[in-house]
Amino acid sequence: MTGQGRLAAWGVGLAALVALPFFYRDPYHLHILVLILIWSFAYTSWSLMGRFGLVSLGHGGFMGIGAYVTALLWNHLGLSPWIGIPIGMVAAGALALIVGYPCFRFRITGHYFVLVTLALSGIVLQVITATRDYTGGSLGYTPNRASGNRLLALQFDDKTTWYLIALGVWLFGIVVWHWVDRSMARYALEAISEDEDAAAAAGVDVTAEKLKITLISALMTALAGAIYCQYQMFITPDTVSGIAVSLQMVFAAIVGGLFVSLGPTAGAVITILLAETLRIKFGTRAVGWDNLVYGVLLVLFIIFLPKGILGSLLDRLKSQRKVSRAHEQEAAQIAHPGT
Amino acid sequence: MQAFLDIFDIYLLEAVINGILLGGVLALLALGLNLIFGVIDVTWICYAELVMIGMYAMYFMVQYYGVSYFVAAPLTILLVAVLGAALHYLVIAPLLTAPPINQLLATGGVLFVLQSFATVAFGIDFRNLGIRLPVLAFGDMNFSYARLLSFVAALVGMVAVYLFMTRTFTGTAIRAISQDRQIMALMGVDTRRIYLITSALGGALAGLAACLLVLQYDVHPFVGLSFGPITFLICVLGGLGNFIGGFIAAFVFAEIISLGGLFSDLEWGYVLAFAFFIVMMFIRPAGLLARRR
């Protein structure tokens, strides 16, 4: 696809997405779409790091912080989410830096990094549960209904409004993804993920580059958590925080495809539709079945289709067309290290 | 004031000793994970879920089929050992040449599978064995007999593994592979067989931990999440693959959790342990016993 054609396709697609709620108003389907968009944004945020081999299982923690800080500030201090969300994001970012700095400074990579971040999300969950006097513990937490200005409280009953907000946030995530994709940081991070020593020798500031992408990713994930909280108006530690949420992000991003911009979105569509279909088909009997299917799929995908559904599909299209563009071949090599 | 101090000290001592007892089981868990990591270079994210399955096995054998605890325990250990070997054969073996992150994420998928399998098959109710072991009173201090038993059994288990690793040919081969996995294949050691044995051994340790934990805790599908993360913390703090480091770290963590729990809720004990962990990451990033380069 040429650059202009691609841009046109994006434009048409976006216009259709923006126009959708004005023609199609089924609240259930809009609800599913909103959920897909919010989670897509979270998964995209995760994949910003994940595609460079920085596999974090701590993102459940960042998401939980974003959601809970926003809701707590609103309920206890009456601080509008417009201020609360940035504070929540800053808190998540600060935590990301505190954990990230020693990890990157002291070369904690691979298994170690995954386990440290895994602990991070576990502990955020514990803190939320332990401070049950404020956060409601594992019973969940509901932001107070706004009595005055709805816009100030960022609470809307209208699904269309939420759809547009979620669409905007999701688009922001995609834009950031492309921005990182075209930046120098991408090459630096790719070099780091191949060989840290060589990258450092070539003049890449390994610690700073990794911290930068971690910070961006954590901030965006916290935003996703806060938006999710504002939309659902009910959060529990298990739905926005903890290891299960972190693994869910990894899973969706990998199933969709880590190395393409719409991969995490494809992952969100697949996983949420799967969960909803199972829920409707089997009702309460389906408790646990969706995760069972997720888990089996995740294992199968990692073994047989490590580039994800969308990634593999695009690859196949590309090889048929025999387009030879240097950076895409490069991406294919990174996706298949060792070939 | 004096009376207050006396009581305080007794509680403190009790917490310290309970911490040591808890440390035994944590050390056992960490040993299994370290073994897998040291030899196969894979982290089983789903390790605590294997323990959970073992706990269910114990529950059903003892509660439903009326099997005696001491008959059920070896069966459970065997079952989880088979599970560990199956996990290696089905999931890890096809991924041995893949990037390490993929192996780790695949076991993350297994975590999902095991958790939801338990949810689907057993429901989300909390279940316990219904065995109430007496409480051991020692002076003014009370110790749970279950904890004492766990501690002793965990120590015995660890000594058995130590003897196996140092006194048998297979154990020696396992240690040799953890030092150099390429050369050992050239020396005529079947690495695939050794990997399978190691996985089964790691599973067996998880099974033993399950038999001990089921005495103290209720079992439910998400029970793995309550001690899984702490096990990973211990392994990282001790240095992944470093058995002695993991052993020491387990006791350090258990003390922090136990003492933190004395002054506040148990959850805050975990939070303290994590704060300690972060500080240690700055001071000794490669583990407690790592030599400074």
How confident is the model over B122-180, as pLDDT tens digits? 877 788 776 666 676 666 666 777 778 888 888 898 888 889 888 998 888 888 887 77
Q: What does the DSSP assignment read for A133-150?
A: HHH-GGG-B-PPPPSS-H
> In A, which residues are within 8 Å of B95 by CB distance?
302-303
What residues contact residue A226 under an 8 Å CB cut-off, 6+ apart?
A66, A67, A69, A70, A81, A84, A85, A88, A89
H-only helix segments in chain A: 3-23, 27-50, 59-72, 81-105, 110-130, 132-135, 150-153, 159-182, 184-194, 196-201, 206-232, 237-240, 243-256, 263-282, 289-304, 308-321, 326-335
A180 Rama sector, left if φ>0, alpha if ψ -120 to 50, beta otherwise: alpha
Q: Are B38 and B243 in contact (CB under 8 A)?
A: yes
Shortest CA gap A240–chain B (Å): 15
| B102 with A296: Cβ contact below 8 A | no
- Give, in order, the Cα–Cα distances in Å from B218 to each of B52, B100, B235: 10, 34, 25
Q: How many CA atoms lie within 13 A of B186 on its CB side?
A: 4
Output the average pLDDT for chain B: 82
> In A, which residues are within 8 Å of B220 by CB distance?
none
| A288 with B119: Cβ contact below 8 A | yes
Pick the closest to residue A39 from A292, A227, A302, A206 (CA basis).
A227
Please give the residue that has the higher pLDDT: either B84 or B292. B84
What residues contact residue B121 under an 8 Å CB cut-off, 6+ apart?
none
CA A71 to chain CA centroid, Å, is 20
Q: Are B20 and B204 in contact (CB under 8 A)?
A: no
Q: For the beta carbon of residue A275, count every other beta carbon within 10 angstroms.
A: 19
What's residue A14's pLDDT? 86
Q: For residue B95, give the chain A residue with the closest CA.
A: A303
pLDDT digits 0-9 by tens, B76-135 = 999 999 999 999 999 888 888 877 777 888 888 888 889 888 888 887 778 877 666 667
Low-confidence ranges of chain A (pLDDT < 70): 1-2, 283-286, 321-339
| A287 with B265: Cβ contact below 8 A | no
What's residue A318's pLDDT? 76
CB-closest option in B240, B265, B278 to A99: B278
> In B, which residues are within 8 Å of A123 by CB distance?
229, 270-271, 274
Shortest CA gap B30–chain A (Å): 13
DSSP B291: P
- Residue that has been written with the tokens 């390429």 in this structure: B182
pLDDT confidence tier of residue B290, bands split at 50, 70 and 90 = low
Among B111, B112, B124, the residue to mutate for chain A (most A Cβ within 10 A): B112
CA A63, CA A43: separation in Å to the nearest integer?
11
Q: For the beta carbon of residue A187, count every other beta carbon within 10 angstroms.
A: 14
What's residue B4's pLDDT? 54
H-only helix segments in chain B: 2-40, 47-59, 69-87, 100-122, 145-167, 169-179, 181-186, 191-216, 224-238, 243-263, 266-283
Q: What are the backbone dihedrals phi and psi of residue B135, each rounded to the nearest 5 degrees, phi first?
A: -100, 135
What's residue A338's pLDDT? 42
| A287 with B112: Cβ contact below 8 A | no
Q: What does the DSSP assignment read for A16-85?
A: HHHHHHHH---HHHHHHHHHHHHHHHHHHHHHHHHTTT---S-HHHHHHHHHHHHHHIIIII---HHHHH
Q: Are A180 and A216 in contact (CB under 8 A)?
A: yes
Query: How open is the CA angle A89-A63-B51, to the nearest 5 degrees?
Result: 145
Map residue B135 onto helix, strand or coil.
strand
H-only helix segments in B41-144: 47-59, 69-87, 100-122
| A123 with B102: Cβ contact below 8 A | no
- Residue that has been written with the tokens 């993360």 in this structure: B229
What's residue A322's pLDDT? 52
Full-model pTM: 0.82
CA A66, CA A72: separation in Å to the nearest integer?
10
- Give, in order, the Cα–Cα distances in Å from A157 to each of A73, A141, A230, B218: 21, 18, 11, 41
Output the average pLDDT for chain A: 84
Which neighbouring-strand residues pair with A239? none
Q: Is the pLDDT of residue B292 over 50?
A: no
Q: For residue A292, give the chain B residue with the closest CA.
A: B113
Pick the closest to residue A291 from A266, A305, A263, A271 (CA basis).
A271
> In B, which residues are within 8 Å of A306 by CB distance?
98, 102
Q: Which two tokens stand for residue A92?
A: 């998540």
CA B230, CA B246: separation in Å to the nearest integer?
12
| B112 with A289: Cβ contact below 8 A | no
- Residue that has been written with the tokens 């868990």 in this structure: B29
Map residue B286 onto helix, strand or coil.
coil
pLDDT digits 0-9 by tens, A164-178 = 999 999 999 999 999
> In A, which residues are within 8 Å of B228 by CB distance?
122, 243
| B281 with A294: Cβ contact below 8 A | no
What's residue A43's pLDDT? 94
Is A115 buried (19+), middle (13-18) or exposed (0-12) by CB count in 10 A? buried
| A295 with B99: Cβ contact below 8 A | no
CA B279, CA B276: separation in Å to the nearest integer?
5
Q: Is the pLDDT of residue B51 over 90?
A: yes
Mean pLDDT (whole number) for B189-196: 86
Among A124, A254, A291, the residue to mutate for chain B (most B Cβ within 10 A): A291
pLDDT confidence tier of residue B5, bands split at 50, 70 and 90 = low
Shortest CA gap A14–chain B (Å): 33
| B109 with A102: Cβ contact below 8 A | no
Could you tell me how many CB contacts below 8 A there are between chain A and chain B?
A: 148
For chain B, give the percent of residues with pLDDT over 70. 89
Q: Are A111 and B43 in contact (CB under 8 A)?
A: yes
What's residue B84's pLDDT? 93
Shortest CA gap A220–chain B (Å): 22
> In A, which residues are within 8 Å of B235 by CB distance?
115
CB-closest option in A99, A115, A247 to B43: A115
Q: For residue A128, give the chain B residue with the closest CA.
A: B267
Pick the closest to residue A243 from B99, B88, B48, B217 (CA basis).
B48
CA B254, CA B47: separation in Å to the nearest integer?
19
| B229 with A250: Cβ contact below 8 A | no
CB-closest option in A111, A288, A338 to B43: A111
| A102 with B282: Cβ contact below 8 A | yes
